[in-house]
Amino acid sequence: MISTGAGELFQILRDGRPRTRSELVEETGLARTSVVNRVAALAAVGLVAPSGTAPTSGGRPAARLTFDPASRVCIGIDLGATHGAVGLLDLAGDVLIDERKTLDIAAGPTATLTWAAETAARLLSQVGRMHRHVLGIGVGVPGPVEHSTGRPIRPPIMPGWDGFDIPAFLRQRLNAPVLVDNDVNLLALGERAIQWPSINDLLFIKVSTGIGAGIISGGALQRGSRGSAGDIGHVQVPGAHDDRDLEATASAPAIAAYLSTTGAIKIEPGDITDRIRTGDATAVSAAREAGRAIGEVTAVCVSVLNPSVVVIGGQLGVNVQEIIAGVREVVYRRSIPLATQHLSIVPAQGGPRAGIRGAAIMVLDELLSPAAVDDLIAALE
């Protein structure tokens, strides 16, 4: 069986439109024998399947083939400072089943990843799949990650995780390839797939326990040379009168700490949204100021990166309209007119599944690439 080049042919079929072999010959310019052999190789690994026949005016109808997203699954794991989510997704990136829970990332990698692995195994059993059906596992964590190794690098809110080999830990338990990235990068991928599939330049800013950005430029996620692109939380706010960085100024813990000094009781980060909803003037003002601080840093990003869309997500970004109002106020005033002329600044719409969906997209982009599909076929041969 000739499999070389089957991965390239598969990229055409990934759009889900059924095609006959003759249509693939016409679309690719390949010889019919090449198309037949490559389609057979893709069928052998389960990536394509029959999909009825083409209409005919006489003679034997031609069989159609299509991408089979149900042939395998991928596991998406989304870990935040205070939550965890695990989901199974098909090869089109659609969520089949998922589970969430409140957790503390500071509990350390062993406890957190053991829960994630056990949850994934249970979900596989619930949908009647086995470990051999898993194409790969995507993991998002709330801290800097060296993407090439999957190891967190000095994550400020993840004690005990520095240098921990996340891929090795999960491979041992789930026997599948593992890719790891910063959670905001995966949120950017998930939000784009769900809400902005035609947008090639998008900036996603997460405002929660920490603050970070995911950058999609030219249709591709930008990680930088070591994986730290988008770490805006540790940028000093332009025009600020002290040396505090953005995270120390405008994150949920920073706002809660400020509100605790202005009242008689201690305010927890999770209480901020409720206080704003009840009309607490001090909380409303603090959130607006936080939004302005985020806007100062975002304005620089907009002028440098020139995105079409800025998405504000995270616990505060989605639930507190004063945050996004403050960002808009400053960005439209500070950034150059050419960059803001058609710029949309919007709240995230991907919902709680955006993180696991982004984790799956990372896996699919890597493990369904032309070279990876050819390797998958070669392993079967």
Which of 232, 183, 145 is CA-nearest to residue 348? 183
Is 380 part of a structural domain of the chain? no
Q: Are residues 21 and 156 in the same domain?
A: no
Does residue 273 sit in helix, strand or coil? helix
Q: Give the closest residue to 138 by CA, choosing from 166, 118, 159.
A: 166
Burial class (CB in 10 A: 0-12, 13-18, 19+), 77: buried
Alpha-carbon distance 201 to 339, whole Å?
A: 12
Same domain, 98 and 122: yes
Whether residue 338 sits in one domain with residue 210: yes
Same domain, 58 and 84: no
Domain membership flag for residue 379? no
Domain termination site, one of 67, 102, 117: 67
**106 and 155 assigned to the same domain:** yes
Residue type, 345: I
Residues 48 and 80 in one domain: no
Task: Say if residue 231 is in the same domain as residue 281.
Answer: yes
Answer yes or no: do 37 and 113 share one domain: no
pLDDT at 2: 42
Quick check: is 341 in a domain?
yes
Does one domain contain both 322 and 202? yes
Print the domain residue range for 310. 195-349
Return the CA Rg of the chain.
23
Residue 187 forms part of a structural domain: no
Regarding whether 229 and 156 lie in a shared domain, the answer is no
Sequence letter at residue 228: S
**Does some domain include residue 322?**
yes
Q: Can you give the pLDDT of all 381 residues of the chain as single tens digits?
A: 444 689 999 999 999 999 999 999 999 999 999 999 999 999 999 999 998 887 766 567 788 999 999 999 999 999 998 999 999 999 999 999 999 999 999 999 999 999 999 999 999 999 999 988 999 999 999 999 999 999 999 998 899 999 999 999 999 999 999 999 999 999 999 999 989 999 999 999 999 999 999 999 999 999 998 888 999 999 999 888 788 899 999 999 999 999 998 876 888 988 999 999 898 999 999 999 999 999 999 999 999 999 999 999 998 999 999 999 999 999 999 999 999 999 999 999 988 899 999 999 999 999 999 999 999 999 887
Cβ-based neighbours of 30, under 8 Å, separated by 6 or more: 5, 9, 24, 38
Residue 182 lies in a domain: no
The answer to whether residues 35 and 112 belong to one domain is no
What pLDDT does residue 56 have?
66
Pairing of strands 309-313, 344-347: parallel
Residues 258 and 294 in one domain: yes
Structure tokens at 88: 């199974």
The count of other CB atoms within 10 Å of the CB of residue 292 is 23
Domain count of the fold of the chain:
3
377 within some domain:
no
Q: What is the pLDDT of residue 73?
A: 97
Residue 376 lies in a domain: no
CATH of the domain at 108: 3.30.420.40
Closest CA to 358 of 217, 179, 168, 225: 179
pLDDT at 13: 95
pTM: 0.91
According to the model, what pLDDT value does residue 3 have? 47
What is the identity of the amino acid at 270? Answer: G
What's 57's domain CATH number? Answer: 1.10.10.10
